Structure 1
Amino acid sequence: MANTINVGIVGISGYSGGVALELLLNHPKVRVSYVSANNTQGRVSEIWPKLAGRTQLVCEPFDVAKSVKLCEVVFLAVPHTVSMQITPKLLAAGVRVIDLSGDYRLKKAAEYKKWYGAEHTDAANLAKAVYGLPEFYREDIRKAKLISNPGCYPTAALLALAPLTTTSAKSIESIAIDAKSGVTGAGRKAKLPLSFSEVNENFKAYKPLYHQHVPEMELYLWKIAGKNFTLDFVPHLLPVNCGILETIYVRLRVKTTLAAVHKTYTRFYKKEAFVRILEPGQQPELKNVVGTNCCDIGFAISQDGRLVVVTSAIDNLMKGASGQAVQNMNIMCGFDEKEGLI
């Protein structure tokens, strides 16, 4: 691709679309040439006042022909079931697609219907989509026409679990994930349970054991580690805007030590710019990752050496969504992977 590329964003009125737009406006090798949203129109500076003076773009309803004419890469920051209506048309016209929804993360249409409650209408591209977790699929991303950006919870979980599951798969008895997310993870639409007075000074679990990210985590943990794991996953809603903190309990059949686990993780991620392994005794904090594309990982070991607690923290709108999408675009287009993110 050229040194500068023309990029479009569909769904800029949502949180992930807005963050993607802000990142791409700052990107030295990107020209944002098209923006759209079906339920919100007008000047971008009116939709996102903090961008006033930085762009003259006008948001309009999505138009396939116009997006194809103006863009080489399109980010789809739209709800589930919408992406699969748009993606085939863009791909057929030679436009590369980075999809931030869940439409192309699972590989079987029947699984998609089970967890998302809708028929998948683009099975052909479902099979071709590349899962956009760069730490594991970098070479596939370079050649991809369609990238399925990972979910926020799976990103934090897979990065936290991969080193342990790939090196000690036969020793693992069980994995339980206690996850907590800020409110922006639920999107920008007005919903009573997400209003300020409902969320503030409150804390609750939701969709325990049956969240739609469970099959995604289990599928790609199997692909990464080569072994099937059943994950007991319980997400919670935090009264904060952004950030995910996951506390993951991995019970082992054999003993290990904090030093051994720390060594495994530092070696595993030694070349990764956006994964930070904390020193023994340190634990991730949301304030250290919010606004960054980083995943911070820490550990604790039980006295008997058979329980490893792995903690991971990310910004759900950055490494958990738009930041990772830009990271994927950089790889896809041959740019420095960190461009526009550090």
Structure 2
Amino acid sequence: MKRLEQAWYNHARWPLLLQPLEQLYLKLSAQDQRKKQAQQWQAPVPVLIVGNITVGGTGKSPLVATLVDYLRSKGWKPGIVSRGYGGKSSEYPLSVTTASDPKIAGDEPVMLAQLGCPVVVDPKRSTAAQSLLAEHDCDLIISDDGLQHLALGRDIELVVIDAARGLGNGHCLPVGPLREPKSRLQQVDYIFANGAEHTSQLEGQTLHPMQLKPTQWRQPASQATYPIQPLPFNESVQALAGIGNPERFFNTLRQLGLTVTGRPYPDHYQFQAQDLVSTEPLLMTAKDAVKCQAWLGAQHWVLDVRAHIATEILEQIHLDLLAAQARKQTSQGL
């Protein structure tokens, strides 16, 4: 898979040999989407989707965290639904807390539970959303991923793209990294380019800049937190990352003045104790840390980050949600 993924983003020509499979994928995907749309459930509260059209991570979960923080400051009571990718439970829907096992609930849901708002996972997002509303006092549903899960009706769709990787070669699986044709971007409400500094255009749509900004160092073993500067450890470090684009994390560390030896792993990788051995400080993401809790010691550090987007965009999303809420209340005769 790694060789194929590299080919997608290096614009190699040999994946074009897989075009018959791409056409089959598009046909089966369209059938699945029609089936889901026919079964679509409309929530009585606004639904905000944060997704992507490429395979792998792009920074959706940090954006979800930023949205939760901002929208709570505006009076919303959000809850989060997720597929729980990387986890496997014997029963769904599953409510997630900070004490949940990432092998059961998934790493991103456990990380998002640290925000202090309700989190429910289910491969069927609509079932997760119904459980969320039945068990918690929420007036807003935020779906971490789920752009392609049309069985859950939505009011606003946000897409996150990796600014460095873009859409790769622009083809759908398995020829390229796209889950859907790039024309799908013309139907969403907001597109964010993770890592971009300026507004740009893609497929005739505006790409809003988004950056993951470091907020603090955290030592999970002691629960101590430290400012980004001065560094609470030596400049020469090891770093592991089981995320969609590990180099993005390693480069962030280098920009902070660190000499980094990177250990890249596949997205949602299930770490083992031997992966955490290091004679130097070993740095990781918050997403990876939730899977490593049992083995973390004094040499292990987490770099906490937040997604930064323009305040006026956050405010516009808030206003869009208020409009969606008013429409739903009118349709319900409230």
What TM-score results when the alignment is normalised by the length of structure 2? 0.35
Higher RCO (Cα < 8 Å, 6 or more apart): 2
Q: TM-score by structure 1 length?
A: 0.34
